[in-house]
Structure 1
Amino acid sequence: MNITIVFPPAADPSLPYGALPLLGAVLKRAGYEDVSLRDVNLEAFDDLWRPDALAEALHREDVPGRTSATAAEVIADIDAARAILRDPVDFYDPMKLLFAKRLFHLAGDLLSASHPTVRFGKYSYSPSSYDSYEEIEAAVRTDAGPLARYFETTTVPSLLAAAPKVIGISVPYFSQLIPAFILADRIRAADPDIHLTFGGPVITWGKEVLMADGRFGRWLDSFFVGEADETFLHFVDALHGKRDLGAVANMVRYVDGGVVSQLDDHYQLDLDWSPTPDFTMMPMDRYFAPKRIICLMPTRGCYFNKCAFCNYAFIKMTPYRMRSPQLLAEDVATIRQATGEDVFSFESDVMLPLHLKQISEALISRGTDIKWHGVARFEKGMTDELFATMRQAGCVRLYMGMESANERVLKAMVKGTDRQRMSDILRMCSSAGISVEAGVFSGFPSETAEEADDTYRFVRDHRHVIARADVGTFRLLKGAPIADTPEKYGIVVLGDPKKRWYHLDFRHTAPEKVSVGAAAMERIQRLYPEVALIDVPEDILYNADVAPDAFRRFFAAAGEPATPSAAVPDEATVALSTDCELQRVHVANSGAVHFDDPAAQDARPVFEVSRMTLTIAVDRAASALYPLSRAEEFVLRRLGEGPMTAAGLRAEIQEYAESAPDGDDKVDVSLLDHLVALGVVVVRVAGVVAVAAP
């Protein structure tokens, strides 16, 4: 009896998702050998991000809004982009990596361009709502997009070739939810006798919607809630007659048009019960990275569990626990030997300082010789000694949720920290050689624009110790304390939360007193332009194999020409290089990246509540791109209107500088000479190009 577990599109194709090798190891340890782990997300990117598939997508139907030059560039260069992402040398050349990432995102836009409601890419597919059977059924019909044909012609036939008794689909990201239902719909049509079951965080979050309507049985026979390491095994045992199917904890079944709930509030997994995940069951050589980051979860749950905006208590169902540090170190050593991979991501919700110390000591004692990324809070128990131990154990990077740097807002959020502690810990991490990605967002109810600016100023002043900023906008989440007591925060929740999957709508009771602070967040985003194209896994690899803060230093250097520039004569004519194109890059809070016009931003998924926008200059001849400051964008867009004299442009730059909207923008008349040296502006004398970058 074959058991197949699937990771569906659309997520990141650069690394294996950790739940699949964990479940595969659980089943193998129990004696089930006929187990298939299918990273269909990776398969779709690998099969469709190719010249032939892109050319077919371009010519199958009219592709609105795509110039032939852009489409031709993507089709011609996508193989080079694929090679760069996997090459152990070219990947670590930041300009080549940026070139490859831009093409990768443009390829997704090209594939889905003839499907007006779909944006296929990393963490992006359907914009439809998903709060009821009716909404999901409509999305399966209207947002089928390019994946429907791929599923029908490639994925489903290959799945059925193994004659599976069960297909489990894991859904950890909202960008996968509608594709998962589309895939289930195609599997059901091809073989209705296969038991289809869903699991993963997104399914747990939507349990109330899924349990409220038996019609979901059209696609599913069951779904799992919470941690399924052990319960999925019990389910497989039941199929083999070893236990009662009705006694499998935290499983919900669709039976004869009805819903049978087997939720058990008292069930709790012992993390030491789980085996070492078997990553050799995954197609490790196909991922789009020179190294495959290994994701493990040393802890589960949140020990603090008080933040007003967070709903961990609602979504996690079980308390904070840690796997034995010795077992974790043995996991790492075993996986390292089996796969050869030496970069790990400890993707816990958060880890206690004491547990960070114990894990680090266990890794040192075992001699694992790895580099790793982790997640932590700004806590009292953090010291220079702790970070020195973590660095000795291989820690190169931490994600730390800062959220705000305004004292009143931090207290309203119940963050349990303050500005001084955050500043001290950032300094300690930097001194130890550990880079920090800080999570920040604006729009927390009652936050003012001035308070959001406090966060901006804190990040700006600590940019030397904050390597990357994860910028977003407040989202009201089902089960969060603020959603349960909205009156305390001056908001009113709209609609019935029980009928919503995860994200809630709300309004302010005194909107005139509130500012969303989006301008402050966009200014923070401009401090870290690499976030527009460089994803977290790539940042982790650069921190592991190059140096902490590698991208920030690269972008600081990239803004300076290789050789000093000579001043352009005032009487010369300057123009935008014919090889240069300005493109707007929209970075969503979900991690999706889109290149398009603002008008195309109206149709966005519910989970993409915010998008930050940057402009880049693409030098096609040099296969280079440069994120632009506001001042640089002003100059290049002005030249996009037509050539002008250098004296005239300098006068406009001076005028811009005197009224610059961003006081941190470096603006002076030498900006023109700088852009000429970079090659994005050319100088003409009597109509002939006289000066250009080498």
Structure 2
Amino acid sequence: LPTLTAYRRGHGLTVTQRALNIEVFDEVLSRRHIEGAVARLRAHYGPRGDRRPPRPIAAPREQVAWALAHGAQVAAQVEQAKRIVRSPAFFDGPKGLKAITVIDEALRIASLPFYPAALELTTYRPAMTADSSRNILREVRDPHFNMLLEIYRRGVLKDIERQRPDVVGISIPSMAQMVPGLTIAALIKERGLPCHVTVGGPHITMLRERIARCPALFSLIDSAVVFDGEEPLLRLCEALDAGGDLSAVPNLIYRDGETIRVTERKEPAKIGALPQPDFDGLPLDRYLAPELALPLLTARGCYFGKCAFCNVGYGEPTFSLMRTEMLASQMLDLHRRYGVRQIFFSDEALTPRTLRELSQIMQRDGTPVLWGGCARFEKPLTAELLQQVYAGGGRMFLFGLETASEAIMRRMVKGTTLENMHRILRESAEAGIWNHTFFFFGFPGETLEDAQQTVNFLYEHQEHIHSAAFGTFLLEVDAPAHKYPQSFGISEVIEHPEKDLAIYFDYRVSEGMDDKLAERVADSFLEALPEKRYPQYYVNDVYRFLYACHLSRIGQRPPPWLVPEPVGAAD
């Protein structure tokens, strides 16, 4: 969003950017809102929570009873909890844990009147799956399930009515944002506001072929911008200003009378030709984090781009790399303008060249910014380079481990070796860098023996891995495994007609574990994990990254993930 804003402001357009996630959490995590949710539960379910409510689906009785019993206490504590999470006090283990617990409880109470929809700290879960246009069209207007309707009507919708913009652009980066994003669109159309509503973002791009076959969605929106949006969105604004002929706007899906039209794809701009992201106007002090961490990109696309499970680039080669001097200049400018001390690179994978050059520049110039991002287990990541990365401000790497079975690594075209994985995890940890790993079970052809090799590898490196995210294989649209299923041991891809906006698909394999067995393996691994004394630092990537930076500033090394923590451990 800040890059789109910078591009349009640079061409003379007036742009207001809003981070509605921040605004929604700020509204919900307030004493007034939680007290209102408790009052609504009492009105619907009775003072003891045992009455049948006047809504299609009732929340579990024990959850309602808990909310009624504890709601007043949570409401009284929620604003203090929010202040703690936004302050250095979050790094005080017991205080931070108490604050996150209160926030989690407050979100559960706020969500219960709209059960089974739920607003959580890391996601929004709609009442119905967001891979169906029928579900979405119903839920964006349904006050029984959509808690955002009231919040948006009181907030952003009034501002749109007052400001009367020509274009409202809604970024939808993931499936979890489909209902929240399209709820705004539905309210604009319901109110009859004379603005062009367009959507974009990674999730919309993944759905580009399906959106073009889904005219019902265009009752909510006027157009969708797919792929990179800087020039297409600018051209859309210019076309609307000139009279409304959208046929020459690139990367656009739009309704023309009763017809849905798709315009020509334009090659994306190289990242070095784009302006520095512009965060002006965003309420950066209201993020639910103890310190500000801003995102940047060092490249667009993935320099490897061959993994069978991944749809980076949406199946097309689009990689471009920023000059490292330009990158370092942007980091320093963000530090000067916003006081930010942490930058998280949102790239798919930082190149070894960028790591080497950036750490040299940061060390040379003494830039007071710590940073982290994703990396691959590449041979050029030597012990010397990893030490240099730490000296140049690098504090966290997120590695795509995926599997430790060499047979499955070859099958998924991972392009890494066990030898490099062993070495880099050890040498990175020795350098003081926080190692986060991603892995999953159930890639087509994987056996229980293969999965056990991954588990064995993780425990062999329990001193060198500091956190992880794991799950099971997902067959994702545009990934090589989806485009060429037979080549990867998938005997059948199952598409459900009612899921007309799906990006994940059921499948059958010709050999190895099926998806249900893979889920049992993942569940068993989860159950065996040691508990963390202060799990609040592992809630999301931002908290982990800020915790890693905090520990480095006070001279402590990252705690191992798989090593049980003794009951008297220091904070």
TM-score by length of 2: 0.88
Q: In the TM superposition, what whole-angstrom CA distance separates every residue of 1:612-670 from its partner, at most 9, and x where no partner exists? A: xxxxxxxxxxxx9xxxxxxxxxxxxxxxxxxxxxxxxxxxxxxxxxxxxxxxxxxxxxx
CA distance in 2, matches of 1:302, 1:282: 29
**8 Å Cα contact 2:398/2:438 also seen in 1:** yes
**Matching residue of 2:549:** 544
Aligned length: 541
1:555-594 superposed matches below 5 A: 559-561=566-568
Q: Which letter maps to 2:5? A: G
**Matching residue of 1:257:** 258
**Matching residue of 2:495:** 495
1:192-591 superposed matches below 5 A: 192-241=193-242, 245-264=246-265, 266-314=266-314, 317-487=316-486, 488-495=488-495, 499-509=500-510, 515-516=517-518, 517-522=521-526, 525-526=529-530, 534-547=539-552, 552=559, 559-561=566-568
| 2:178 counterpart of 1:173 | no
Distance of aligned partners of 1:518 and 1:158 in 2 relative to their CA distance in 1, 3 Å threshold: same
Larger strand share, 1 or 2: 1
Q: In the TM superposition, what whole-angstrom CA distance separates every residue of 1:438-461 from its partner, at most 9, and x where no partner exists? A: 101112222222321221221112
**8 Å Cα contact 2:396/2:435 also seen in 1:** yes
| SS of the residue 2:469 aligns to | strand
**Matching residue of 2:139:** 139
| Offset at residue 360 of structure 1 (A) | 2.7
1:63-78 superposed matches below 5 A: 64=61, 65-66=63-64, 67=66, 68-78=68-78
| SS of the residue 2:124 aligns to | coil
**Matching residue of 1:25:** 6
Distance of aligned partners of 1:562 and 1:337 in 2 relative to their CA distance in 1, 3 Å threshold: closer
Q: In the TM superposition, what whole-angstrom CA distance separates every residue of 1:288-325 from its partner, at most 9, and x where no partner exists? A: 2231111001111112122121122426x442111121
| Offset at residue 465 of structure 1 (A) | 0.9
Distance of aligned partners of 1:237 and 1:524 in 2 relative to their CA distance in 1, 3 Å threshold: farther
Unaligned runs of 5+ in 2: 50-60
CA distance in 2, matches of 1:329, 1:475: 36
The Cα RMSD (Å) is 2.7
**8 Å Cα contact 2:311/2:480 also seen in 1:** yes
Unaligned runs of 5+ in 1: 1-19, 564-623, 625-694
| SS of the residue 1:215 aligns to | helix
Q: Which letter maps to 1:220? A: I
Q: In the TM superposition, what whole-angstrom CA distance separates every residue of 1:208-239 from its partner, at most 9, and x where no partner exists? A: 12111222221111111111122222222333
Instruction: Answer with 205-214 or 502-511: which moved more.
Output: 502-511
CA distance in 2, matches of 1:555, 1:132: 39
Distance of aligned partners of 1:283 and 1:490 in 2 relative to their CA distance in 1, 3 Å threshold: closer
**8 Å Cα contact 2:271/2:321 also seen in 1:** yes
Q: In the TM superposition, what whole-angstrom CA distance separates every residue of 1:363-413 from its partner, at most 9, and x where no partner exists? A: 345543210011111112211222122222210001000011122222222
Q: In the TM superposition, what whole-angstrom CA distance separates every residue of 1:399-440 from its partner, at most 9, and x where no partner exists? A: 000011122222222211122210101112112221110101
CA distance in 2, matches of 1:512, 1:30: 53
| Offset at residue 359 of structure 1 (A) | 2.9
**8 Å Cα contact 2:172/2:203 also seen in 1:** yes
| 2:27 counterpart of 1:47 | yes
Q: In the TM superposition, what whole-angstrom CA distance separates every residue of 1:233-268 from its partner, at most 9, and x where no partner exists? A: 22223333399642221121112132121131x512
Q: In the TM superposition, what whole-angstrom CA distance separates every residue of 1:76-131 from its partner, at most 9, and x where no partner exists? A: 2212211110112x111122212211221221111111222201123122152334
- Between the two proteins, what is the percent identity of the paired residues? 28
Q: In the TM superposition, what whole-angstrom CA distance separates every residue of 1:538-571 from its partner, at most 9, and x where no partner exists? A: 11111112239866369979642489xxxxxxxx
CA distance in 1, matches of 2:334, 2:472: 37
| Offset at residue 511 of structure 1 (A) | 7.1
CA distance in 1, matches of 2:12, 2:514: 62
CA distance in 2, matches of 1:483, 1:86: 42
**Matching residue of 2:52:** none
- Computing the radius of gyration over CA atoms, which structure comes out larger, 1 or 2? 1
Q: In the TM superposition, what whole-angstrom CA distance separates every residue of 1:567-613 from its partner, at most 9, and x where no partner exists? A: xxxxxxxxxxxxxxxxxxxxxxxxxxxxxxxxxxxxxxxxxxxxxxx
Distance of aligned partners of 1:460 and 1:95 in 2 relative to their CA distance in 1, 3 Å threshold: farther
TM-score by length of 1: 0.73
Distance of aligned partners of 1:138 and 1:460 in 2 relative to their CA distance in 1, 3 Å threshold: same
CA distance in 2, matches of 1:274, 1:465: 37
Q: Which letter maps to 1:205? A: M
Q: In the TM superposition, what whole-angstrom CA distance separates every residue of 1:157-212 from its partner, at most 9, and x where no partner exists? A: 12222121111001112211111111210111113421100011111111112111
| SS of the residue 2:155 aligns to | helix
Q: In the TM superposition, what whole-angstrom CA distance separates every residue of 1:449-481 from its partner, at most 9, and x where no partner exists? A: 232122122111212111111121111111222
| Offset at residue 141 of structure 1 (A) | 4.1
**8 Å Cα contact 1:51/1:78 also seen in 2:** yes
**8 Å Cα contact 1:168/1:199 also seen in 2:** yes
**8 Å Cα contact 2:305/2:317 also seen in 1:** no
**8 Å Cα contact 1:357/1:386 also seen in 2:** yes
